[in-house]
Structure 1
Amino acid sequence: MSAILVVNSGSSSFKYQLIEMTTEEVLASGLVERIGEAMGHTKHTSAAGSAELDLPIANHTQGFQAMLDAFETNGPSLVEHAPVAVGHRVVHGGKRFFEATVVTDLVKINIQDLAELAPLHNPANLEGISAAQHAFPAVPHVAVFDTAFHSTLSPAAYTYAIDKELADRHRVRRYGFHGTSHKFVSEAAAEFLGRPFGDTKTIVLHLGNGASACAVSDGRSVETSMGMTPLEGLVMGTRSGDLDPAVLFHLHRKTGMTFDELDTLLNRGSGILGLSGRGDMRDMIAAANGGDADAGAALDVYLHRLKHYVGAYAAQLGRVDAIVFTAGVGENTPLIRAGALEGLGILGIEIDARRNESSERGARLISTDSSRVAVLVIPTNEELEIARQTLAVI
């Protein structure tokens, strides 16, 4: 048996999966949330069913104890399925981490140092690592970085055109995110098409509340839409995506908005929420279909930006074998898939309306048989990708 425990830790919660790597079967999954509040909450799902519990959880260490108690009570046994390693999602690896890495004290120091680039994520990821090391002290812990897959970007792709010395001193460049998902999905697309991963050119559209595009050429990320932070690129649930930087100067001068207020505006009060008043894509589409003008305009902006990136990445790749939709919106919203690729027959892209509207789940083809570019829907599985990379490292 070779089970891997995968942990995705936030500041007040963490998710986990125990995966048996021989079969890649999920033996158990769960969520520990509301850490540090008056009353915490756990949910644990295994072959025995789902069990939920409310109890005080003061910190992540107590959260991991609650997880261990859930395994003991509801299974499976961590004696029979003892994890050989724990894989951790870490958001920002900067320029220092370009592959999954066994966690050492030095690695933890570097993750903390990179927290200035991801202040909401890296410290929380570290809390999860420390708590997990306390719960599982005898096994290796592996950090898998969201940015790592994009370490293959060329200088032309990752460089911002500002003063070079200033940029170097303050680590200003494009890093990209969702790399674990982009790697999993682009590799799965090559397998679906029966092509070698090293000879496949793919555009992956990871569309959830956070959204990013990635051009993958022969197994390597060569372009991606998110930048130094996850704010750049596509229109998202609450993030603006691409924006003229002078907008910030203008708003500051006109309204007196502070840097923190502008940060909050662009990250939490923009995107489809800012345009339509609705932060959930399903609600926005329902409103647009009902004749709401703001929701309809927001949908147009969202699709316009998507199409822009598809065209730009097709130009960068030179040849496109597949366009792949993934994540919550990408996997479940036929209107978005059709709208993003409408009118792109010039690139050899033809959507089959019946296939696109099908209620089928799992990896599937939604383009016509005559389409020069395959259009696929492939569910992402970041936990499995983290587990695979963790097992490969150890």
Structure 2
Amino acid sequence: MNEGGAGIGGDRNVLVVNAGSSSVKLRLLDPGDQVLAAHNLRAVAGSPDPGELERAVENLAHAGEVAITGHRVVHGGPVFTDPVLVDEEVERRLRELVPLAPLHQPAALTALADVSAVLPGVPRVACFDTSFHARMPPEAVTYPVPASWREEYGVRRYGFHGLSHAYASRRAAELTGGRRVVTAHLGSGASLAAVRDGVSVDTTMGFTPLEGMVMATRSGTVDPGLLLWLQTERGLTAEELTDALFHRSGMTGLVGSADMRSVLDGARREGSPEALGFAVYLHRLRAETAAMAAALDGLDVLVFTGGVGERAAPVRSGAAAGLGFLGVAVDDDLNASYAGGDLEITAAGAPARTLVIEAREDIEIARAARALLP
């Protein structure tokens, strides 16, 4: 069970709006962070049907007064390092960041406008996936590129999924007392974070949400020289590369499917594309976990969260099988029996503890919104 947040940031209900590239999740949370009502909408080209969204928001408002709306926004850039009350100027500056997160930023801005049209006058708070990583040390955020790029263009590592990493790492510390936590947010997008005493010190995503892990349709890290070669020797345009790396790579590029369930089913066949794809996924996951543990000088707790992290037991066991040198080992029965909520799946005697924690970005957003508007 998740602990409530009564008394944190006031006593107001918050409507949390989590807009992704293919869905919009709406949650009305009371002051104790209990869900009063929920609704999920499909999004086409990043936007749900306006009429359907209007009806959903109105229905949720019947479950309790909406005092604040809290919106997940993927990219805050160098300016928005903390939650912010949204006005026209903030919206304008957020639109300028669309090229850095083309799959998600437009969806968040559309949902922000559409919900505001249904609830005019209700304060709007934007909460950023980049905020949790905004205070990483210089060595973790600096790219070894020309100084003019860093100074004139603001090139640096930002990191993403911060709302999920913040909640999962705090929850892990509450359950275990561990100070050095690696959180693995694994879903259609995927990233890891190294968290020491509640503070992010490193993460796998960078300037955009393309760096790091193999994802559903995104490549994760590839050799930049490969991209230059494709442009100069094979004539691919920047637009073609962008489409390929964001929409046709990752598991989709490896096996033709972005669905991890389908990948796991096919991976049982030796020599299949799915078997190779899953091996590539685990190889990158183990390597990135080890890198995050190195940033922490060791590992107390490993956390799996997100759609794949919570629902794919073979991903958790497969990752753990290659991380024994870090003290990670999972109990097979506990791992297979996970059915939701928060569960420790550590094998008896393992030095590092392993948890599955339900992703609750909604709680993180609601708490931040109340704190900004006490």
Q: Please give the TM-score of this superposition, normalised by the length of structure 1.
A: 0.86
Alpha-carbon shift at residue 125 of structure 1 (Å):
2.0
Residues in 2 aligned to 1:391 and 1:14: alpha-carbon distance in whole angstroms: 21
Task: Measure how far apart 1:259 and its partner are.
Answer: 1.1
Q: Which amino acid aligns with 1:132?
A: V
Aligned to 1:389: 368
Distance 2:191 2:22 in 1: 25
Q: Report the Cα offset of residue 231 of structure 1.
A: 0.7
Deviation sequence 1:218-260 (CA, Å, 0-9, x none): 1111111011111100111111111101111222234322111
Secondary structure, in 3 states, of the residue corresponding to 1:205? strand
Q: Distance in 2 between matches of 1:76 and 1:104?
A: 22
- Asked if residue 77 in structure 1 is aligned to residue 62 in structure 2, the reply is yes
CA distance in structure 1 between the aligned counterparts of 2:44 and 2:31, rounded to whole angstroms: 30
Tell me how far apart the structure 2 counterparts of residues 223 and 313 of structure 1 sit (CA, whole Å): 7
Name the Cα RMSD after superposition: 2.2
Gaps of 5+ in 2: 1-10
Q: Tell me which of the two structures has the higher relative contact order, counting C-alpha pairs closer than 8 angstroms and 6 or more residues apart.
A: 2
Flag the structure with larger Rg: 1
Aligned pair partner of 2:37 in 28, 46, 50: 28
* Count of residues in Structure 1 that have an aligned counterpart in Structure 2: 363
Given that residues 70 and 127 in structure 2 are in contact (C-alpha distance below 8 angstroms), is that contact kept between their aligned partners in structure 1?
yes
- Provide closer, same or farther for how the CA distance between residues 390 and 171 of structure 1 changes in structure 2, counting only shifts above 3 A: same
Gap runs ≥5 in structure 1: 42-56
Q: 1:164 to 1:100 in 2, by over 3 A?
A: same
SS in 2 for 1:255: coil
Which of 26, 36, 50 is matched with 1:16 structurally? Answer: 26
Structure 1 position 181, deviation (Å): 0.3
Matched-pair contact (CA < 8 Å) for 1:27–1:76: no
- Give the counterpart letter for 2:144 in structure 1: A
Percent identity (aligned): 40
From 307, 316, 321, give the equivalent of 1:342. Answer: 321
Quote the Cα distance in structure 2 between the aligned partners of 1:66 and 1:10. 19
**Of residues 97, 109, 113 in structure 2, which corresponds to 1:126?**
109
User: Residue 217 of structure 1: CA displacement?
Assistant: 0.8
Distance 1:173 1:76, change over 3 A: closer
- What is the aligned partner in structure 1 of residue 172 from structure 2? 189
- Correspondence 1:153 to 2:136: yes
From the superposition, tell whether residues 192 and 13 of structure 1 become closer, same or farther in structure 2 (CA, over 3 Å): closer
Are the equivalent residues in 2 in contact too, given 1:233–1:242 (CA < 8 A)? Answer: yes
Which residue of the partner structure matches residue 246 of structure 2? 267
Write the letter of the residue equivalent to 2:217: T
| Matching of residue 65 in structure 1 with residue 65 in structure 2 | no
- Taking the aligned partners of 1:124 and 1:346, their CA distance within structure 2 comes to 41
Matched to 2:209, the amino acid is P
Shift of 1:361: 2.5
Is the counterpart of residue 94 in structure 1 residue 77 in structure 2?
yes
Would the aligned equivalents of 1:214 and 1:223 in 2 still touch at CA under 8 Å? Answer: yes
Give the conservation status (yes or no) of the 8 Å contact 1:91–1:118.
yes
Kindly indicate whether residue 191 of structure 2 is the aligned counterpart of residue 212 of structure 1: yes
CA shift, 1:33, in A, is 4.2
1:69-124 per-residue CA deviation (whole Å, 9 max, x = no partner) reads: 5x1xxx6626xx21111101111101111111111233222212222322343333
Aligned twin of 1:357: 336
SS at 1:139's partner residue? coil
CA contact (8 A) 2:188 2:216 kept: yes
2:348 equivalent in structure 1: 369
Contact 2:190–2:215 under 8 Å retained in 1: yes
Structure 2 counterpart of 1:243: 222
CA distance in 2, matches of 1:318, 1:256: 44
Counterpart Cα distance in 2 of 1:161 and 1:220: 24
* Aligned residue in 1 for 2:96: 113
**Alignment correspondent of 2:12:** 2
On the 8 A contact 2:73/2:108 being kept in 1, the answer is yes
Q: Does 1:142 align with 2:151?
A: no
| Cα distance in 1, alignment partners of residues 293 and 348 from structure 2 | 20
The amino acid of 1:6's aligned partner reads V
Question: Matches of 1:11 and 1:343 in 2, distance apart?
Answer: 32
Q: Does 1:329 align with 2:308?
A: yes
